Amino acid sequence: MITVSGLSKRFGDKAVVSDAGFEAPGGSITYLLGPNGAGKSTTMRMIAGLTTPDAGIVRINGQSLRALAEPMREVRFNLDTFARNPKHTARQHLTWQARLGGIPVAEVDAVLARVGLAEVAKRPVGRFSLGMLQRLGIATALLGDPRTLVLDEPDNGLDVDGILWLRELLTGLAAEGRALLVASHNLTEVEITADRIVIMGRGRVLSDASRDETLALGSGPRRLESAYTTVTRGSVEYRAAGARDDEAEQ
């Protein structure tokens, strides 16, 4: 479980995250949604310990990240698709990650097979497509068999088969009792797989509810899209000249 309480962060005069609070319970997929500039990535970086909050508390399975005895067995992250040496092979990249976290190197090949990269394990990642890089990032998050996963737009760059594979993977991990926190802009997949949906805007949590409760806020054939635009209205920072209010929200 991930518990976020009163989380705040400023960069200069700009409040990027303001008093954010929510939970991502075990055995479920919690999605973090919001327009560009909503504070999602900064929130995830604070959860990962990569950005220091000005205020607030983050707990992973009841403890702070630093207090976890085996952090790589408790929680893993995939926040930056391109954070890797392009000259390293996929196997070398994961081997380095395993050694860094005290995880047996024997787990590397099993994880590569699980994400469909076994046949390209010896290929330099600089020659990977975006979809392959996403799979490698997910493999990195799975290394260590963690109880909790935090993924930032894991379906970006995946083709249709890849999205269907990811859907099965995420729902399967949740069924095993793991807690998943996933940032996404793919509302179709969110509507299919979400258990809880947290929507942010201008650094604040605007809605934190179950999937069904969130869908009840919308109407029409695309209920999640309708609910999302209703909740985020007034929170969009980037607006095209001449756009109507309903266009700018989407």
Q: Of 122, 146, 170, which residue constitutes the final position of a domain?
A: 146
Q: Given a cut of 90, is residue 168 above it in pLDDT?
A: yes
57-81: average pLDDT: 88
Convert the pLDDT of each residue in 174-194 to its tens digit: 999 999 999 999 999 999 999
47/179 Cα distance (integer angstroms): 14
DSSP 134-183: HHHHHHHHHTT--SEEEEESTTTT--HHHHHHHHHHHHHHHHTT-EEEEE
Residue 192 DSSP class: H
- Let me know if residue 55 belongs to a domain: yes
> Which residues touch 88 (CB under 8 Å, ≥6 apart)?
96, 124, 125
Convert the pLDDT of each residue in 7-50 to its tens digit: 999 999 999 999 999 999 999 999 999 998 899 999 999 999 99
Lowest mean pLDDT among 20-34, 82-96, 123-137: 82-96
E strand or H helix at 40: helix 40-47
Q: Of 146, 166, 201, which residue constitutes the final position of a domain?
A: 146
- Let me know if residue 217 belongs to a domain: yes
**pTM for this predicted structure:** 0.90
Residues 188 and 237 in one domain: yes
Contact 197, 31 (CB under 8 A): yes
Residues 27 and 123 in one domain: no
112-124: average pLDDT: 95
46/16 Cα distance (integer angstroms): 12
Q: What is the dihedral of CA 45, 51, 53, 57, to 10 degrees?
A: 50
Mean pLDDT (the chain, rounded):
90
Lowest mean pLDDT among 81-85, 121-125, 132-136: 81-85
Residues 219 and 241 in one domain: yes
Beta bridge partners of residue 59, listed in sequence order: 3
Residues 156 and 39 in one domain: yes
158-181: average pLDDT: 96
Residues 129 and 192 in one domain: no
Going by pLDDT thresholds of 50, 70 and 90, the confidence category of residue 70 is confident
Domain of 111, in residue numbers: 80-146
137/82 Cα distance (integer angstroms): 9
Q: How many CB atoms lie within 10 A of CB 73?
A: 16
Q: Pick the more confident residue, 72 or 48.
A: 48
- Let me know if residue 71 belongs to a domain: no
Please tell me whether residue 112 adopts helix, strand or coil conformation: helix
Convert the pLDDT of each residue in 147-158 to its tens digit: 999 999 999 889
How many structural domains comprise the chain? 2
Instruction: Please give the C-alpha separations between residue 92 and each of 77, 80, 84, 96, 112, in angstroms, as whole numbers.
Output: 18, 18, 10, 6, 11
Burial of 220 (0-12, 13-18, 19+ CB in 10 A): exposed
> Which residues touch 10 (CB under 8 Å, ≥6 apart)?
16, 54
| Residue 173 identity (one-letter amino acid) | L
Q: Given a cut of 80, is residue 247 above it in pLDDT?
A: no
